Amino acid sequence: MRERVPMLDLAAEVEFLWEPLQGAIQEVLRSGQFILGPEVEALERELAAYLGVRHAITLNSGTDALVIALRALGVGPGDEVITTPFTFFATVEAICHAGATPVFADIDPDTFTLDPDLAAAAVTPRTRAIVPVHLFGHAAEMARLRDLAGAHGLRVVEDVAQAFGGRFRGRLLGTLGDFGAFSFFPSKNLGAYGDGGLLITADDALADAARMLRAHGSRRKYYHERVGYNSRLDVLQAAILRVKLPHMDEWNRRRQAAAAYYQEILADLPGVVLPAVRPEVEHVFHQYTIRILNGRRDEVQRALSERGISTMVYYPVPLHRLPVFRHLNLSLPAAEAAAREVLSLPIGPFLRRDQQDEVAAALRAALR
Ligand SMILES: *Cc1c(COP(=O)(O)O)cnc(C)c1O
């Protein structure tokens, strides 16, 4: 069956932005400046202003942002870093690439984010940092995680890959830890048309260390102080992001409106749990993720697919159950249940109400 409702309609976005995108791309081609320079610097200024933060350092990917943040903080071999088992693999991959040991603490089943009590229970004398993930656009419990970090002298790197523009108690996500690490992967709320990433920080010394690591560990060309990375944001992607950034508030509002409409039309479905809405969190709905109970998730997903409705399972395997971490022999029941039950429905700034009605009708039929 033809796809009637895509997960995210990037084609509609490209169509909407066609003229300004063409202009921006042509300008880069004519400029002859293809590595860093004015376009990337302008984007960094605009991102810093949008996020209300001193330093915005653009990078090659969100994965690199996490690795560079940890290394700039001096996290390395012998250190433990607490994180969630229910996230994209890159979160934990970054901890391993920094040379540290990941320690998984289970999630709060209502919000799918790191449970602060379980994170507290995971602290040992070797713990150096916490990496909370604002999963699906919903903030982790940052007040309690910050208290925990304060009490034990831990660093905090927020994984904001899925939550650009989201807030906790009115404060923008990414500004609550030592570093905020963002991704510009195309499907993210602020996505490029290729790879890209961002680190933000209020700390001058940390920003300087991150910039140095981005450029092969050098502040001055050919004078390398540390073993770093080639992790610059591509100039064409910077130009594309500058076209998209002014639309972010409106596009996040449209995601929230679409989510509110789902909450309304899916409210009475039996055996379905809708996303939690917390008063202290401004959720930006990178995903609209429901639970399908009673072991029926896969069957429901197939039924929707037969009616041309795309859905995704983020994530089918909690990280501690992947081959690379299976030897840890962990039991993290909330993450395991989530992996069995979650289903993300189509969402995005260009999703139409009639498409949402189709999703609801198909869900209703599948559950009957
Ligand atoms: C996308 C994502 C990343 C990695 O970002 P890339 O730009 O793809 O490297 C990290 N963490 C989370 C939670 C993500 O969703």
pLDDT tens per residue across span 77-123: 999 999 999 999 999 999 999 999 999 999 999 999 999 999 999 99
From CA 274, how far away is CA 291, in angstroms rounded? 7
**C-beta of 90 in contact with ligand 1 (< 6 A):** yes
**C-beta of 102 in contact with ligand 1 (< 6 A):** no
**C-beta of 164 in contact with ligand 1 (< 6 A):** no
Question: Helix, strand, coil shares of the chain as percentages rounded to 5?
Answer: 40, 20, 40
Q: Which residue has the tokens 């500058």?
A: 242
**C-beta of 87 in contact with ligand 1 (< 6 A):** yes
pLDDT band at 1 (very low <50, low <70, confident <90, very high): low
The answer, yes or no, to whether residue 272 has pLDDT greater than 70, is yes
If you count them, how many residues does the chain have? 368
Task: Evaluate whether 40 touches 238 at the Cβ level (below 8 Å).
Answer: yes
**C-beta of 133 in contact with ligand 1 (< 6 A):** yes
pLDDT reported for residue 353: 98
Radius of gyration of the CA atoms of the chain, in A: 21
pLDDT reported for residue 297: 98
**C-beta of 189 in contact with ligand 1 (< 6 A):** no
Q: What's the CA dihedral at 150, 151, 154, 158 to 10 degrees?
A: -50
Determine the distance separating the centroid of ligand 1 and the alpha carbon of 223, expressed in angstroms. Answer: 31
pLDDT tens-digit map of 179-215: 999 999 999 999 999 999 999 999 999 999 999 999 9
Determine the distance separating the centroid of ligand 1 and the alpha carbon of 313, expressed in angstroms. Answer: 16
